[in-house]
């Protein structure tokens, strides 16, 4: 508890976001703060050279003092260079100055599924959920084939743009050859999502699917039940979700998950 408080104090003192209007590298003018993650602080910025809006990500100063923090930030740029996929942000630039380490990425302008579900009250039935999962599996397979796993496939990191899905934020992504770095004291679900294996992305995708399915769920009684009791979905879809969520023998590849979903 004390360690967490100290970390929070350090972040408040040293990891303050840069102010809107600030010009970085005589090129990028900060428009607004997008968010603060485990390793980086992310902004929307205007690129005066290309006259476009871009995503600017700064390594937290507290993380820049650690080998693991530096490595994670550098690895994100390495991974984005390797992926090169139309439904994943492109790496545009990387640099270091007196304000720290930065990478610049393509801005995917659209709605996250967090926005669609909670802000717009959008609902998804079984058929729609399966269609979304199948499109995501195609994107995920493209980087799994390059021995890359995302490890953070949550509703804020999946965007719908003009009817097409995009996966963003590779800040926790790693190569399958990387060593496991999870804290053994973490919650079991977090350990499964952060595990250095392709099964971690399928596990996260199972949770993503539950968010979509619960968007149309209306409880009939106050007593809370399991998702299998509450959600009205087909037996075959339940079976596929149980394998994604590692409640049964899990899928070991995107191909296995895709085959099961296509059979429903």
> What's residue 241's pLDDT?
98
Comparison of pLDDT for 134 and 196, the residue scoring more: 134
> What's residue 196's pLDDT?
86
**CB neighbours of 196 closer than 8 A, spacing ≥ 6?**
149, 151, 174, 176, 178, 179, 180
The DSSP symbol for 62 reads: H
* Whether the predicted pLDDT of 51 surpasses 50: yes
> What's residue 189's pLDDT?
75
Q: Model pTM greater than 0.85? A: yes
**CB neighbours of 236 closer than 8 A, spacing ≥ 6?**
260, 263, 264
> What's residue 4's pLDDT?
47
* Whether the predicted pLDDT of 6 surpasses 80: no
Active-site annotation holds for 169: no
- Which one of the listed residues 152, 169, 183, 185 is annotated catalytic? 152
What value, to the nearest 5°, has the Cα angle with vertex 35 and ends 188 and 162?
95
> What's residue 7's pLDDT?
54
Whole-number average pLDDT of the chain = 90
All structural domains of the chain: 16-106 (3.30.200.20), 111-262 (1.10.510.10)
**CB neighbours of 68 closer than 8 A, spacing ≥ 6?**
181
Are 147 and 137 within 8 A, CB to CB?
A: no
List, for residues 101-142, the tens digit of each pLDDT value: 999 999 999 999 999 999 999 999 999 999 999 999 999 999
């Amino acid at each position: 508890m004390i360690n967490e408080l100290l970390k929070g104090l350090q972040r408040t003192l040293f990891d303050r976001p840069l102010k809107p209007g600030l010009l970085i590298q005589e090129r990028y003018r900060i428009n607004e703060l997008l968010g603060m993650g485990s390793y980086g602080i992310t902004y929307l910025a205007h690129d005066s050279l290309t006259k476009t809006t871009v995503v600017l990500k700064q390594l937290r100063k507290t993380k820049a003092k650690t080998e693991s923090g530096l490595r994670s930030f550098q690895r994100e740029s390495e991974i984005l260079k390797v992926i090169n996929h139309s439904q994943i942000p492109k790496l545009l630039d990387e640099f270091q100055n007196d304000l720290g380490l930065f990478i610049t990425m393509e801005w995917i302008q659209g709605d996250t599924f967090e926005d669609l579900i909670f802000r717009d009250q959008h609902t998804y039935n079984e058929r729609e959920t399966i269609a979304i999962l199948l499109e995501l599996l195609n994107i995920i397979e493209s980087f799994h084939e390059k021995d890359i796993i995302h490890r953070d496939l949550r509703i804020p990191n999946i965007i719908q743009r003009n009817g097409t899905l995009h996966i963003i934020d590779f800040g926790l992504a790693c190569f399958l050859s990387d060593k496991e770095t999870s804290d053994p004291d973490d919650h079991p679900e977090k350990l499964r999502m952060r595990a250095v294996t392709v099964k971690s992305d399928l596990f996260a995708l199972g949770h993503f699917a539950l968010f979509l399915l619960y968007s149309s769920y209306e409880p009939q009684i106050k007593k809370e039940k399991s998702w299998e009791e509450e959600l009205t979905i087909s037996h075959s879809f339940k079976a596929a979700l149980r394998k994604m969520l590692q409640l049964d023998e899990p899928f070991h590849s995107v191909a296995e998950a895709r085959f099961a979903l296509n059979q429903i």
